[in-house]
Amino acid sequence: MRIISLSPGLTEILFAIGAGDRVAVVDRFSDYPASVASLPRMEYTQPNPEAALAHSPDLVLMTTRQRTQVKQFRDLKMTVLYIEEAQSVDRVIEVIGMLGSITERDAEARALVASMRQRIGTVIARLESVRTGPRVFYEISPDLYTASPETFIGSMLTLLKVQNIALDARTAFPQLSSEAIIAANPEVILLSDAISAKQSVETVASRPGWQAIAAVQSKRIVPIDPNVANRPGPRIVEAIELMARALYPEYFLATAR
């Protein structure tokens, strides 16, 4: 009945399945839906266990960033559910079902999952004839961190049949060199740092050597809302739809009319 959610993605899921009234505290990055603005907040990376205990939670939801603190919370007799950040779209959907069961919002969770699967299926159907999509660089930050296929972001790109230039990365979120990106020559650059770091067509084009990149020459540099695309929550279906339209505008002209 009293949940502390220390993950923006998990917070969004709880509200999307009608369990928002159970959420007593959120992390400082949880900002959706708007109604979370009135809730008490805790740090995301180093939440204080004593402060959490003062809110008398029945359940604390923790994720990858808080892995090392789980024991501290449990040592204070708090019930903690640790959920590793999803590495795929399917895992995001599984977590929605799990939280539906925990909060007795099974029907709402099933309805949300069905809606998400239907919308994703519509995108997949439109792209059925695509064999190989464009080469893509998904920019998380201006220091050139990106997402490998072993992440839910990379999973979305795989679903959209693109050639992720971080395909052979050894880590989930690798930092690429400028030289490696230029050599990979992406045809589309997706900027999830357009808002947070004020990146744009102009700033990307001004980077040394990047004028040779196909995406820069064609100006196929697309801003992506990180609060939608970089959180493993129910709005990833919106991100999939938005990226699909940006990557394959010719397949979605009828939708735009």
Q: What is the pLDDT of residue 196?
A: 87
Q: What is the pLDDT of residue 147?
A: 96
Task: Please tell me whether residues 147 and 75 are part of one structural domain.
Answer: no
**Could you list the residue range(s) of the whole structural domain that residue 191 is in?**
135-256
Task: Please tell me whether residues 159 and 79 are part of one structural domain.
Answer: no
User: How does residue 257 score in pLDDT terms, banded at 50, 70 and 90?
Assistant: very low
Q: Give the CA distances from residue 123 to residues 107, 119, 129, 231, in Å, rounded to whole numbers and listed in that order.
A: 25, 7, 12, 20
Task: Please tell me whether residues 147 and 238 are part of one structural domain.
Answer: yes
203 has a pLDDT exceeding 70: yes
Distance of CA 33 to the CA centre of its chain: 15
| Digit-coded pLDDT (tens) for 167-195 | 999 999 999 999 999 999 999 999 999 98
Q: Give the CA distances from residue 116 to residues 110, 125, 154, in Å, rounded to whole numbers and listed in that order.
A: 10, 14, 18
Residue 56 lies in a domain: yes
Task: Please tell me whether residues 162 and 224 are part of one structural domain.
Answer: yes
255 has a pLDDT exceeding 60: no
Give the domain-ending residue among 85, 111, 143.
Answer: 85
Task: Please tell me whether residues 168 and 235 are part of one structural domain.
Answer: yes
Task: Please tell me whether residues 168 and 243 are part of one structural domain.
Answer: yes
Residue 68 lies in a domain: yes
User: What CATH number has the domain bearing residue 162?
Assistant: 3.40.50.1980
Looking at the 3D structure of the chain, how many domains does it have?
Answer: 2
Task: Please tell me whether residues 80 and 145 are part of one structural domain.
Answer: no
Task: Please tell me whether residues 139 and 242 are part of one structural domain.
Answer: yes
Residue 114 lies in a domain: no
